[in-house]
Amino acid sequence: MSGLYIRKFIDRVAQCDATNARDFVWTMQDAKNLHGDITKLLLDIDLLQKQQSSKQPDSIEVDGGTW
Residue-level pLDDT, tens digit, the chain, 67 residues: 578 999 999 999 999 999 999 999 999 999 999 999 999 999 999 999 988 877 666 677 878 777 6
pLDDT for residue 1: 52
Residue 8 lies in a domain: yes
Number of domains forming the structure of the chain: 1
pLDDT for residue 9: 96
d(CA 30, CA 7): 12
Residue 67 lies in a domain: no
pLDDT for residue 44: 94
pLDDT for residue 58: 67
d(CA 51, CA 29): 33
Residue 56 lies in a domain: no
Decide: pTM greater than 0.85: no
Residue 66 lies in a domain: no
Residue 16 lies in a domain: yes
Three-state SS annotation for 35-63: HHHHHHHHHHHHHHHHHHHHHCCCCCCCC
Give the domain extent around 29.
4-45
